[in-house]
Amino acid sequence: MTIAIASGKGGTGKTTLSVNLAKLVSATYPEAETVLTDLDVEEPNSGLFLNSEVVDEQRVTRKIPEWIEEKCTYCNICRDVCQFNAIAVLPNQVLVFPELCHSCNACVGLCPENALRMTDHHIGRLKHMTSEKLNFVEGELKIGEQQAVPMIAQTMDYSREKFPESALHVYDAPPGTSCPVIESVKDADYVILVSEPTPFGLHDLKLSVKTMRKIGKRFGVVINRDGIGNNDTVEYCREEGVDIIGRIPNMTEIARKYSRGELISSIPEVREQLFHILENISQITGQSVLPGQKEEE
């Protein structure tokens, strides 16, 4: 089972929910494998809430073309085939712009002189860490790199290959509704959209709902800071037939713990809601989210 946790904008509590949900399951079902993967690669911050130990670290690269000057006849074919304007042919030089290149290989394949070859371009790092029984994988894009999607894809591949199919995967997706989010949720069995019951929150939620429907994902809404704002989000979900699968209350204790970088799953009201969310997902998907036997407390 893979659950992706997304939101239309940052700061809605997406990371808080991801970390606390994953941590709660790993602590309650220590015999099962639970993996939290931070796919918010431009600004990964799940780790701020976890005391973790690094067990593996890898350099992440993607392929871009490299020019071989002595073979080139300046025929311009590479420039013309590149749909992304990532190549410029100058009178005595061919320039490749890595930030525009989508690693499609077309220029390399079509160069009549074999004057281009694919080479590794460093885009970031990924780390596998453990925090007690929780496995935590974090992808981090190098500063200045603009393409988050290859970094997200390789971070997800690492998580998938490293852990058994029976593992519960929780993905902390990037905020928004653009390509990085779509990449992050594409393999998910269920997507949780986290929203706050405010006009801004509702505006972004509507965009997220539209995106999830367009890509055909099963999803539900968790209202964070329930009790602030108005009832418009609940009304919207009712009218649109969107499931509200949980509500995290607006409590001073949550804010206090959050500001100290502490987990909020120890708060009984939050804990109850987290289990409620997991039970709802199990019911909706018909798949068991919570594997194994609940540990005696």
Instruction: Catalog residues that contact ligand SF4 under the rule CB under 6 A.
Output: 65, 67, 72-78, 81-82, 84, 86-87, 89, 94, 96, 101-107, 111, 113, 115-116
Token pair of 209, please?
């709902």
Residue of 173, 178, 213 whose CA lies nearest to 194: 173
Closer CB to ligand SF4, residue 14 or residue 62?
Answer: 62
| Minimum CB–partner distance for residue 237 and ligand SF4 (Å) | 41
CB of 288 to ligand SF4, least distance (A): 43
| Residue 123 or 245 having the CB closest to ligand SF4 | 123
Pick between residue 77 and residue 267 the one whose CB is nearest to ligand SF4: 77
> Of 78 and 270, which CB lies nearer to ligand SF4 in the complex structure?
78
Q: Which amino acid is at 240?
A: E
Query: Whole-number minimum distance, CB 106 to ligand SF4, in Å?
Result: 4
From the list 239, 232, 246, the residue with the least C-alpha distance to 279 is 246
CB of 177 to ligand SF4, least distance (A): 24
Q: Give all strands (DSSP E) within the chain, no chain letters.
A: 2-6, 34-38, 53-67, 87-90, 93-96, 116-131, 134-141, 168-172, 190-195, 219-226, 244-249
Alpha carbons 18 and 108: distance in angstroms, whole number: 41
| Least Cβ distance, residue 157 to ligand SF4 (angstroms) | 20
Per DSSP bridges, beta strands 87-90 and 134-141 are unpaired
Looking at the Cβ atoms of 150 and 220, the one nearer to ligand SF4 is 150
CB of 264 to ligand SF4, least distance (A): 44
**Strand-pair partners of 220:** 192
Q: What is the dihedral of CA 176, 177, 180, 183, to 10 degrees?
A: 140
Min. distance of Cβ 149 from ligand SF4 in angstroms?
13
CA–CA distance, 214 with 211 (Å, rounded to integer): 5
Question: What is the maximum alpha-carbon separation in the chain?
Answer: 73
Rounded to whole angstroms, the Cα distance separating 203 from 207 reads 7
| C-beta of 62 vs 257, nearer to ligand SF4 | 62
Q: Pick between residue 77 and residue 202 the one whose CB is nearest to ligand SF4.
A: 77
